[in-house]
Amino acid sequence: MSKKENNTCNTCMSDLTRRDFLKVAGAITGGLAAASAVSNTALASSGGGDIPLEDQKALFYDATYCVGCRECELACKEDNHLKEENVDDLSGNTFTLIKLYQSEDGGESSFRKYQCMHCVDPACATSCPVGALEKTDEGPVLYESLKCIGCRYCMQACPYGVPAYDWSQAYPLIAKCDLCYDRHDGPACATACSPGALISGTRGELLKIAKERIAANPGKYYEDRVFGEHDGGGTSVLILSAVSFDKIGLPPLTEKAIPHYGETATRAVPYIFGGAAGFTAIVYRATMTAEERQRLGKKQGKEEGETE
Amino acid sequence: MHHKKNSNLFTLGFAVAAILVVTGLLLNGTVSAQVPTAEQINTDQEVVPIVDEAISRQQGNASPASSGVDHSVFEILQQDFETPQDLTKACLSCHIDSAEDLMHTTHWTWEYVNESTGQTIGKKNELNNFCVATSSNEPRCTSCHVGYGWKDNDFDFSAQENVDCLVCHDTTGAYKKTPTAAGMPDPEVDLTLVAQKVGTPSRTNCLVCHAYGGGGDAVKHGDIDSSLKEPNHALDVHMDAAGLNFSCTECHVTEDHAVSGSRYEHDEKVKTCVDCHDADPHKDELTNQHAENLACQSCHIPEYARGGLATKMTWDWSTAGEFASDGSKIATEEYNTLKGNFTWEENVAPEYVWFNGTAEYMLVTDEIDPSSIVPVNKFLGDIDDPNAKIWPVKRFTGVQPYDSGNNVLAVPHLFGKDENAYWKSFDWDKAIAAGMESAGAEYSGEYDFVETEFYWPITHMVAPAEEVLQCRECHDPQNERIDFAALGYDEERADELTWELDEYPETSPESLNELVSRPAQTNDWIYWLIGIVGLFGVFEVAGTRHINRRKDNYE
Amino acid sequence: MTTITIPRIKKEIPLSIFILGIIAVLGVYSMGIRWVQGLGIATNLSDTRPWGLWISFDLAVMAFSGSAFTLAALTHMFHRYKYHNIARIALVSGFVGYISAAAALTVELGRPERLWHYFFYWNPHSPLFEVGMCVITYLLILTLEFLPMLFEKLEWHSAHKFLHYFEIPIVAAGIILSSGHQSSLGAISLALPLKLHALWYSPMLPLIFFISAMTSGFAMAITVGLLGLRFFDDWHFKPGVFSGLGRLLLVFLSATLLLKIGDLAVAGELGLIFENSYQSKMFIIENLLGYVLPIIILLIPKYKNCRLWIFRAGILSVMGLVIHRINVSFVGLAGAEYYPTWQEVLSTAGLFSIGVILFWVVAKNIPLMEEEKE
């Protein structure tokens, strides 16, 4: 009680026995270790579990069949009750858009259908702090608008720049293609495509079609491969193109899925906690001045003496 | 007691009579008269009742030449025929009604009354910009008449023996009609042999005339030429010899020798696409919507004259009459002394017009405006016509003579041995005078040449589904097929239907600049630097002076 | 110093605070524009540039607020009690910083009214989730660290003693949570391998963010400490405090710089520094002005103990950190063309001003200086 006259931390320190401190520090560390065990299980790879990848819903787009009639855009707008608008990019009211690539001299051209790629391991789903974006078992990446807090991390993380805002709204929500998840006949765009550029089906089926088409037309398609098989960890929207992928605005992704880039860091978080806890405990003890050690020792000794 | 007996008898008699009368009345309708009527009996002929016997003999073996009855067994056909008419009579001895039926059809009359337009047209009266008119040229033109001997206006259209059965029913390919003999067969032809081998008409029979109109193979229609005798799948999916092998009558349904189908107005009896294919046969709605305004042929016959034979596209009569330096007639692909200049084309993309099935033709009595291209025929229909669809057509252009005094098209007398025939004297004035007289029209004595156009609907040579017209063939702004404005679409709609390339948002490797970090070359860093230095300056001024003043500045 | 007297309350406030007050009001007005008219009107953000000035501001402020845990660790964990006063200042400035960063969220988020979703909808895979949860918890810790000072002033001794008992665990928790979210702020950018320029993108980003947060913690402490001497007459520090902080700043500056350059060297990307692009020039500005220059200053014997020069080094480090955060959130990021609207600039300035005013209010009313003992 006489210690109360002093207001310095040094004095307070002497009220704490070594045992007390270690108890508290131990409790913190133990708690964090437990948390780390929990979060490690939670960190097991996100999304898309029950249905095997080749049976998941997917969409196939062959740019060489596309004539730019834009019926897919209209069908999408109709099916989703979206506003008519003439835009240059995906927006809050445009979930899919046909863009045209033309080379400088006009010798090369290709259409490309812009839309959500429904990645196998989506960057957006991993990024969303409240889990508003989810890779469903069936394949499509769905957005649950009720959870969204509007942080726009998904917009930043998506390598294709898909999630869009209706910026005219004061409190907007993300808008993007949901591969007509609730539509009985599958994506409306595929139903509407007259030239047959869009085909919907299971990912396995569509990959097979794509590869058959490549085999039947050697040299026609860029790099004789279908975009989305492995790009960015794989997508459920597969694209065949005669011109190089970067010309039609597809980013140069490796086979590594975006979430995997941050995997180590996220997994490390509980260890950071544990490490910091341990570190502070060790440092605290190790850098005590001799005086403080003495004080603590005296206190401990007094206690021990009392209990004897 | 006597009264009772009498009354009983009376009742019985009355009942019997009533029963007889009622029965007789009832049976009246059901029992048909087996007795031939006066019409049916051709009193000149012998009725040979061995048809049934012949058919029963046929049960075992199929006819080698055609799917039908083997006519070689018939005695009446086992004789030499002096005239082709004799042969016709022999045919009619069994096929009693056939000539009668045929004579009601346009194949015989070459005349058609179009109720929608009120025109009495038909090959007899029609003008075109090929050989122009049949009047005064009958002996040449009627080599494609389904009859014998129509060489002038005195032809007896009612004489049944003048019907040419063989031209349609020949299966040997040996039957030929002399090109200049008013429909008479080539004397070299063994009529007996041909007669014994008759059968149902095949494509070849129809093509013998319809493919050679206008003076030669593939000249006129564009979608009908001799390549349709044995076409492959690529040329026509229905007539594909190795596939469906449709004969003409599959679609041109024929009943009682009346072949359905008309270039004058829509014939209900002819089969159209939707009779076999659904009205909505495509798997996507948009294409089915197209079918509401586009005839199926528009997309499914992307080109005509695909059978390896070029079709005639233009005919300039005004240059006719030139001879070679040695005085002989010139006859090349591009020029013929008798006819003038032509151009030919193969694999032609059609032109497209609104067509509701009815066409109007120029008659010799119709006044023309020589200052613009004269529409010798016109396909009726426009964008507002609910019955009209956009049809592919062959547009044939020509230059032909007209009466510049009366401003009507001229009927030239081309063929003949007399001096007035153009092909004899190469004198237009005389030829026109003779032709107009034959057609019963006035000739002012003045003639000149005028540009004309003539349309043919394209409906044969249906291409395989893989070859169907692709969207951009019509919707691309550079396309050469469709002129939306010319078809009557208003500016706004025509603009919607034309997919200009600059309407599309752009994508390019540069558009990745927003998704992939690339070295930028802006000078914005200068502004940042200025800001930083400025901020440093603020802190320097705000923070350092007072520090300097303190005594414990240096620690 | 020049003061202005507020007529009604008859209180005197420094002119600079008055000006900041005006800016704060204008700032709130600009925030109101965002709340009423929407992000489309109030900002120049777009789908490929979803983060702008506000995010850069948040990142920078959160880094500076690292002064709280850094100085607390120095004082309590390493038992260097001569830094106690500066630690209290650092705590208050850090607290104020986190409050203004949280306030910035109310305009930055598309749905600020749904902030409570952090408590109910969890996606533990997301670094942003980790940041959010840690910051929420850390604000609680900061409150617990700040309350003793308040209780001291209010003379609620038993409450003060109660909290004081738990001081070490609270400080430890603060360090643990800070290390978590400072590094997670870096982890956010890991999801942008294509978008972030190679000069900044690295798997070491969480570590770089963490160490630079500590660096800027020291820099902030130096700046605020020395600047405050002008405005607060009762402020005093033990001799050797600032030269000590200067030494620590030197160590951490070097560590950060070494980490950044070393990471580039290991990745074979050192050549990019000389690629002569906008980004490379900004990288050079950031590291030359913000790291190399202060390191040089702090190495020179004549300057390393001079408060004036330590202050300059501190300012340069502060700016270096700000530039780094701007580079990572804007300059080095691919995206649509962007410059902030006046509403964004004014609201950011307003939030900053509110922070400073809050600090000034606290500093004026709660004794941040402790009496010297022993």
Taking only the tens place, the pLDDT of each residue in A54-113 is 999 999 999 999 999 999 999 999 999 999 998 999 999 999 999 999 999 988 999 999
Nearest by CB to B525, which of C278, C316, C332? C278
Q: Which long-range contacts (CB under 8 A, 24 or more apart) does B503-506 make?
A: B504/A68, B504/A98, B504/A99, B504/A100, B504/A111, B505/A87, B505/A88, B505/A89, B505/A97, B505/A99, B505/A100, B506/A88, B506/A99, B506/A100, B506/A101, B506/A102
CA B541 to chain centre: 96
Structural domain that includes position C197:
55-335
Contact yes or no for B233/B242 (Cβ under 8 A): yes
Q: How far apart are alpha carbons A6 and A12 in whole angstroms? A: 8
pTM attached to this predicted model: 0.81
The amino acid at residue B193 is: L
Contact yes or no for C168/C76 (Cβ under 8 A): yes
Per the CB < 8 Å rule, is B507 touching A101? yes
Query: Touching check for A22 and chain C: CB below 8 Å?
Result: no
DSSP letters along C138-192, please?
HHHHHHHHHHHHHHHHHT-HHHHHHHHHTHHHHHHHHHHHHHHHHHHHHHHGGG-
CB B132: neighbour CB atoms within 10 A? 26
Chain A residues close to C184, C-beta within 8 Å? 265, 269
Query: Touching check for B473 and chain A: CB below 8 Å?
Result: no
Q: How far apart are alpha carbons B480 and B495 in whole angstroms? A: 16
Number of helical H runs and strand E runs in chain B? 19, 14
Q: How far apart are alpha carbons C237 and B547 in whole angstroms? A: 13
Which residues have CB under 8 Å from A65's CB, separation 6+?
A: A195, A196, A197
Nearest by CB to B505, which of A97, A194, A246? A97
Which residues have CB under 8 Å from C156's CB, separation 6+?
A: none
Touching subunits for chain C (3+ Cβ pairs under 8 A) = A, B
Kindly state the tokens that stand for C84. Answer: 């106690």
Among the residue ranges A230-244, A285-299, B24-38, B181-195, the one predicted with the least confidence is B24-38
The amino acid at residue B217 is: D
pLDDT at A227 over 60: yes
Query: Touching check for C116 and chain A: CB below 8 Å?
Result: no
Nearest by CB to B520, which of C48, C49, C278? C278
Looking at the 3D structure of chain C, how many domains does it have? 1
Sign of CA dihedral A239, A243, A244, A249: negative
Backbone angles phi, psi at A295, to 5 degrees: -60, -45
Kindly state the tokens that stand for B320. Answer: 């006719």
Q: How far apart are alpha carbons A125 and A143 in whole angstroms? A: 9
Q: Given this model, what pLDDT does residue A167 score?
A: 92
Chain C residues close to A156, C-beta within 8 Å? 50-51, 191-192, 195
Taking the alpha carbons at both ends of chain C, their separation in whole angstroms is 34
Token pair 């070689």 is at which residue?
B72
Interface of A with C in 178-237 (CB under 8 A): none
Per the CB < 8 Å rule, is A98 touching B504? yes
SS3 B529: helix
The chain-wide mean pLDDT, for chain B, equals: 87
Strand pairing partners for A91? A94
The CA-atom distances, in angstroms, between B355 and each of B380, B392, C198 are: 5, 9, 65
The amino acid at residue B353 is: V
Sign of CA dihedral B116, B117, B121, B127: negative
Q: How confident is the model at residue A14 (pLDDT cuts 50, 70, 90)?
A: very low
Token pair 């964004």 is at which residue?
C344
Query: Mean per-residue pLDDT for B503-519?
Result: 93
Query: Mean per-residue pLDDT for A210-227?
Result: 95
Nearest by CB to B518, which of C242, C281, C334? C334
For C121-176, the pLDDT digits (tens) are: 999 999 999 999 999 999 999 999 999 999 988 988 898 889 888 888 899 999 99
Q: For residue B470, what is the nearest residue in chain A, using CA coordinates?
A: A195
Q: How far apart are alpha carbons B535 and C322 in whole angstroms? A: 12
Q: How far apart are alpha carbons B536 and B525 in whole angstroms? A: 16
For residues A273 and B306, the model is more confident at: B306
Query: Touching check for B552 and chain A: CB below 8 Å?
Result: no
Which residues have CB under 8 Å from B227's CB, separation 6+?
A: B218, B235, B306, B307, B308, B309
Q: What is the CA radius of gyration of chain A?
A: 29
Inter-chain CB pairs, A–B, below 8 Å: 71
Kindly report the CATH number assigned to the domain that includes residue C195.
1.20.1630.10
Contact yes or no for B121/B109 (Cβ under 8 A): no
Q: How far apart are alpha carbons B38 and C89 in whole angstroms? A: 131
Q: Which helix (DSSP H) or strand (DSSP E) does residue A238 occupy? A: strand A237-240
Q: How far apart are alpha carbons A171 and C94 in whole angstroms? A: 30
Q: How far apart are alpha carbons C185 and C189 in whole angstroms? A: 8
Nearest by CB to A131, which of C84, C114, C122? C122
The CA-atom distances, in angstroms, between C190 and each of A275, B512, C225 are: 22, 19, 34
pLDDT at B468 over 90: yes
The chain-wide mean pLDDT, for chain A, equals: 84
Interface of B with A in 481-540 (CB under 8 A): 499, 501, 504-509, 511-512, 514-516
Chain B residues close to C269, C-beta within 8 Å? none
Backbone angles phi, psi at B406, to 5 degrees: -95, -5
Residue of C126, C153, C201 to mutate, testing the A interface (most A Cβ within 10 Å of its Cβ): C126
Query: Touching check for B504 and chain C: CB below 8 Å?
Result: no
> Does any domain span residue C3?
no
Q: For strand A164-165 and strand A141-143, is the pairing parallel, antiparallel, or unpaired?
A: unpaired
Query: Touching check for A130 and chain C: CB below 8 Å?
Result: yes
Residue of A149, A285, A291 to mutate, testing the C interface (most C Cβ within 10 Å of its Cβ): A149
Report, as ranges of residue numbers, the positions in chain C whose pLDDT lies below 70: 1, 371-374
Q: How far apart are alpha carbons C187 and B471 in whole angstroms? A: 49
SS3 B543: helix
Per the CB < 8 Å rule, is A169 touching C51? no
Chain B residues close to A248, C-beta within 8 Å? 507
Token pair 């001045």 is at which residue?
A289
**C90 DSSP 8-state letter:** H
For B322-364, the pLDDT digits (tens) are: 999 999 999 999 999 999 999 999 999 999 999 999 999 999 9
Q: For residue B466, what is the nearest residue in chain A, using CA coordinates?
A: A195
Per the CB < 8 Å rule, is C172 touching A170? no
**A4 DSSP 8-state letter:** G
Q: For strand B389-403 and strand B311-316, is the pairing parallel, antiparallel, or unpaired?
A: parallel
Q: For residue C129, what is the nearest residue in chain A, using CA coordinates?
A: A129
Interface of B with A in 286-305 (CB under 8 A): 286-287
Query: Touching check for A307 and chain C: CB below 8 Å?
Result: no
Contact yes or no for A204/A193 (Cβ under 8 A): no
Interface of A with C in 78-107 (CB under 8 A): 89-91
Distance from the Cα of C315 to chain A's closest Cα (Å) equals 29
For residues A44 and B181, the model is more confident at: B181
Q: For strand C11-14 and strand C3-6, is the pairing parallel, antiparallel, or unpaired?
A: antiparallel
The amino acid at residue A96 is: T
Nearest by CB to C308, which of B536, B542, B553? B553
Q: For residue C193, what is the nearest residue in chain B, using CA coordinates?
A: B516
**C316 DSSP 8-state letter:** H
Q: How far apart are alpha carbons C188 and C203 in whole angstroms? A: 11
Query: Mean per-residue pLDDT for B38-59?
Result: 40
Contact yes or no for B147/B163 (Cβ under 8 A): yes
> Does any domain span residue C62?
yes
Sign of CA dihedral B514, B520, B522, B525: positive
pLDDT at A35 over 70: no
Query: Touching check for A240 and chain B: CB below 8 Å?
Result: no
Provide the H-helix boundaries in B360-490.
422-425, 428-439, 472-475
- Percentage of residues in chain B with pLDDT exceeding 70? 86
SS3 B337: coil
Q: Given this model, what pLDDT does residue B22 score?
A: 59
Per the CB < 8 Å rule, is B505 touching A89? yes
Interface of B with C in 24-63 (CB under 8 A): none
Q: Given this model, what pLDDT does residue B44 score?
A: 40
Backbone angles phi, psi at B432, to 5 degrees: -65, -40
Q: How far apart are alpha carbons B32 and A47 in whole angstroms? A: 84
pLDDT at B404 over 80: yes
Burial class (CB in 10 A: 0-12, 13-18, 19+), A239: buried
The CA-atom distances, in angstroms, between B185 and each of B146, B202, B204 are: 11, 19, 17
> Does any domain span residue C198?
yes
Nearest by CB to A259, which of C40, C125, C188? C125
Kindly state the tokens that stand for A10. Answer: 């040094």
Interface of C with A in 49-68 (CB under 8 A): 50-51
Q: Given this model, what pLDDT does residue B53 score?
A: 41
User: Do you know the residue count of chain C?
Assistant: 374
> Does any domain span residue C231?
yes
Q: For residue B548, what is the nearest residue in chain C, using CA coordinates?
A: C308
Kindly state the tokens that stand for B329. Answer: 């007639």
For B527-549, the pLDDT digits (tens) are: 999 999 999 998 888 877 777 66
Q: Given this model, what pLDDT does residue B63 score?
A: 33
Q: How far apart are alpha carbons A180 and A164 in whole angstroms? A: 17
Chain B residues close to A73, C-beta within 8 Å? none
For residues B59 and C41, the model is more confident at: C41
Chain C residues close to A163, C-beta within 8 Å? 47
Which residues have CB under 8 Å from C332's CB, separation 6+?
A: B517, C196, C197, C199, C200, C201, C279, C282, C283
CATH code for residues A53-256: 3.30.70.20
Residue of B507, B512, B514, B533 to mutate, testing the C interface (most C Cβ within 10 Å of its Cβ): B514
Which residues have CB under 8 Å from B530's CB, separation 6+?
A: none
Contact yes or no for C142/C95 (Cβ under 8 A): yes
Q: How confident is the model at residue A22 (pLDDT cuts 50, 70, 90)?
A: low
HSE (side-chain half, CA atoms, 13 Å) at A13: 20
Q: Given this model, what pLDDT does residue C136 score?
A: 92
Q: Given this model, what pLDDT does residue A31 score?
A: 58
